[in-house]
Structure 1
Amino acid sequence: MSVLIRRVREGDWRGCCAVEAACFPPDEAAEPDSVAERIRVFPQGFYVAEDISGTDSVIAGMINSGATSRNDITDEAFKKLVGHDPDGRNMVVFSLSVRPEWQGQGIARQLMERFVLESRTQGKACVLLLCKDFHIGFYEKLGFAHCGLSASTHGGAAWHEMRMRL
């Protein structure tokens, strides 16, 4: 398998929606219109892992985000980019996801490494995200600090705040 990590393009929308649907339960997954809005409004915070080994390329994974100068990332409206400020000091990851059939091959790590590099290039101060408890160790290995349980109850789940200073 050969994977290319690159910035999202508008034509990637369907593939990104397929990744979202494959990786999240319906009450946690971003709606297709939200995915389209993230691609349109903030492509500089949206990267895909494209499997280019076959005759047809496939979006195997993605990372997408918004930017803000706020430290509180629990506002549900922010996931629809309400309050998004492209010049904000913090990048807030909405989703780092890899389709199940491509998991375990280092693609999520590659996506995050590219995302962190680009965030530094953009002069951001921190990368913030929320994750479930079973992902805390993964993010800690990537250099994130666990900041405790979040006030977010998105999708009825418990979420933990993670922070990486850049």
Structure 2
Amino acid sequence: MKALTIRHADMDDLTACHTIEANCFPPAEAAWASSLRNRIEIYPEGFLVAEWEGKVVGQVNAGSTDKDDITDEEFKQLIGHDPDGRNIVIFSLSVLPAFRQRGIAGTLLTNFIGHARDMGKSAIKLLCKEPLTAFYARFGFTDDGPSRSTHGGAVWHAMTLVLTD
């Protein structure tokens, strides 16, 4: 594999991360630049980027909460975010289309899981579309079934990876 680096995002990555969002999600689902800015500013611990030969090509970003219900749309703006919450909630794991099928998403997720363990989180939670449930299952996530979320008018599955016994 060529030079892939996983690191925490900083404000210099905002434009690249917004470009990734815009290329990976329909407009009704993609995070706004202001949401990404908030995530970098407020919870940089939950925001990793993948650099391929110096270019940011992937990202994973999250918030933290003690809640188990992660369907609250305001939480994506980090309203109700608690950095000490037992659950870390992935908002987006995305890789530019031209850089897919290179193991970048898996490497980002593996790093994120290790980071969440190091932070002492109890679980990682996320919402994804049904075709992605098998991808997350390979990393130990269980499908909790359809979510009540109607974000972007899509049907979402809730998934959980328990990090502690």
Tell me how far apart the structure 2 counterparts of residues 18 and 51 of structure 1 sit (CA, whole Å). 15
Q: Secondary structure at the match of 1:14?
A: helix
- Report the CA distance between 1:51 and its aligned residue: 1.2
Tell me how far apart the structure 1 counterparts of residues 7 and 25 of structure 2 sit (CA, whole Å). 22
Match of 2:130 among 133, 154, 162: 133
Give the equivalent residue in structure 2 for 1:25: 26
Structure 2 counterparts to residues 1-166 of structure 1, below 5 A: 1-52=2-53, 57-166=54-163
Q: Secondary structure at the match of 1:63?
A: strand
Deviating beyond 4 angstroms after TM superposition, the runs of 4 or more aligned structure 1 residues are none
Tell me how far apart the structure 2 counterparts of residues 65 and 165 of structure 1 sit (CA, whole Å). 16
Segments of structure 1 that go 5 or more residues without pairing to the other structure are none
Look up the equivalent residue of 1:158 and give its one-letter code: V
- The sequence identity of aligned pairs, in percent, is 48
1:7-32: CA deviation from partner (whole Å, max 9, x where unpaired):
11111111101111110010000011
Tell me how far apart the structure 2 counterparts of residues 24 and 98 of structure 1 sit (CA, whole Å). 11
Tell me how far apart the structure 1 counterparts of residues 51 and 42 of structure 2 sit (CA, whole Å). 21
TM-score, L = length of structure 1: 0.96
Tell me how far apart the structure 1 counterparts of residues 50 and 12 of structure 2 sit (CA, whole Å). 14
- Report the CA distance between 1:60 and its aligned residue: 0.5
CA RMSD of aligned residues (A): 0.6
Q: Secondary structure at the match of 1:59?
A: strand
Segments of structure 2 that go 5 or more residues without pairing to the other structure are none
Tell me how far apart the structure 2 counterparts of residues 59 and 18 of structure 1 sit (CA, whole Å). 10
Tell me how far apart the structure 1 counterparts of residues 7 and 41 of structure 2 sit (CA, whole Å). 16
Q: Secondary structure at the match of 1:13?
A: helix
1:111-165: CA deviation from partner (whole Å, max 9, x where unpaired):
0111110100000000000000000100001110000000000000000000000
TM-score, L = length of structure 2: 0.97
Tell me how far apart the structure 1 counterparts of residues 153 and 3 of structure 2 sit (CA, whole Å). 37
1:93-120: CA deviation from partner (whole Å, max 9, x where unpaired):
0000000000111100100111110100
- Report the CA distance between 1:89 and its aligned residue: 0.2
Tell me how far apart the structure 2 counterparts of residues 160 and 61 of structure 1 sit (CA, whole Å). 22
Look up the equivalent residue of 1:21 and give its one-letter code: A
